[in-house]
A and B are shown apart, each in its own frame.
Chain A
Amino acid sequence: MWRVLWTLVARAARGPRSPRSCTRQGSGAPAPGSGATIFALSSGQGRCGIAVIRTSGPSSGHALRSLTAPRDLPPARSACLRLLSHPRSGEPLDHALVLWFPGPQSFTGEDCAEFHVHGGPAVVSGVLQALETEAQRRQALRQLDGELGHLCHGWAKTLTKALAHVEAYIDFGEDDNLEEGVLEQADSQVRELELALSAHLRDARRGQRLRSGAHVVVAGPPNAGKSSLVNVLSRKPVSIVSPEPGTTRDVLETPVDLAGFPALLSDTAGLREGVGPVEQEGVRRARERLEQADLILAVLDASDLGSPSSCNFLDTVVAPPGAGSPSENSRRLLLVLNKSDLLPPGGPDPRPDLPPHLLLSCLTGEGLDGLLEALRKELAEVCGDPSTGPPLLTRARHQHHLQGCLDALRHYKQTKDLALAAEALRLARGHLGRITGGGGTEEVLDIIFRDFCVGK
């Protein structure tokens, strides 16, 4: 009932489910205390044994009942074991302890519910998604601020303008005089937006990384100390080696928690050309993994920087010729010079062209703190910092709609039929509208009448 009700409401609240319809109803967020039900993950981010999800608000009871159907509400303030399943699909989510705190005897004074679920990211996100209603999404999205908010609003503005100009070209292009090049300008704006969105989406795999772990690849020429580094990183007390069997999909891939961030640490075969077919296959895989890596830990033997294999590695992996190109922009790399204990007291051989690097001795542990700090910084960038960024769930939705927006934009201009092309823009704007709101008919008309002298 709860789910159905909310779905209906959300649909009604959106008005005609057209891509542009979001502002038609122009409603603001419900006033505080006006009966909205909120929910959130109350325990910390990341991997843990048990995660606690709390809801607060008048719909908490409905929510609890709909997730634990067909069972009734548990007795107040006592923990009960329940099978949680998705209210719509019926798909089982988790066996969880649930608690029911009817208001006003609750933390917030409103009706509250708690779900103590197993802490795997899949379970947590499954329950959160089941809880999430369209209306709440809208509200969460309305509160969108920060960097991503700025970005989305900027894109929405560009897209609305492009849409308005195409609409103007359709509605007034033949009767009134629009300036030359209106359509061409819209075209180039759409192209730019497409590039910006796809760059962001490439980058915005971060949310996913936070759930499933960032790919950290250790690479380097043979005998640089890659495996030692992996061992050090996975044995270091501050990092926790996952004891779960079977989670390692590859013998060389170890799930670890690096400075609070989940990561998949991969050891690769030493990169060198030639030799036997088996090793060649290993090298091919290593290169493939490098391409998929979120972060590369490039390891060199500090005492052996002049060797051909080190030089080759530096030229091809650490500073490849195309490194400045946009496609390489998102690649992150930390250069680690291992075996610092073998160096003479004056430091490594002076190589003026050597990029920024960290010195480390896997043997003595010297430089490890510096490396961990550097890793933390990099991973915060890669995964997004949960303490400052928007919540994980919203980000998944953002990604979904940004992807939808991008897909729609790609349909623009595939056809000469301008009505079809405009439809692609409307659809794209609709996706952005689910994040930022706006983009309705009146907004489009405002832009048309602001930018063009039309009307008779």
Chain B
Amino acid sequence: MAERPEDLNLPNAVITRIIKEALPDGVNVSKEARRAISQAASVFVLYATSCANNFAMKAKRKTLNAGDVLAAMEEMEFERFLEPLREALEVYKKDQKGRKEVSEQKRKDKEKKTDSENDKSREEEEEEEEQQRMEEEPEEEPEEEEEEVVEN
């Protein structure tokens, strides 16, 4: 497994929180255990990605999609994850759709204040771009990134 300085680790604070929420109240989790779980989680991502990628390659696709990830979970014998994953995905997709509509509406409202003729063509262009962006790798919004509590 590659050990790179650019952290292939997940933020400790978040991992710790997830562990605490999964266990009964008051359980003491050693620092070593936390670190080990974090490393295990990274390995899990790699394993899942590799597995999902096999499915994508079999289907002659270059882009990993949701189906590939779900298939990977089954392959890895984590069927117990399938249902919660599917449910979460539905909520996520609805949320994404809602956000897209909201931002498009906001943009339309804003543009109505300026020259309307220029807007029409620009709107279409931007919609196309947005479509492309949704299909390719997602751009990360700054609000998503968790501030890492420096513990190491």
Verify that A and B bind, or say they do not: no
Q: Which residues of B contact A (CB under 8 A)?
A: none
Q: Which residues of A contact B (CB under 8 A)?
A: none
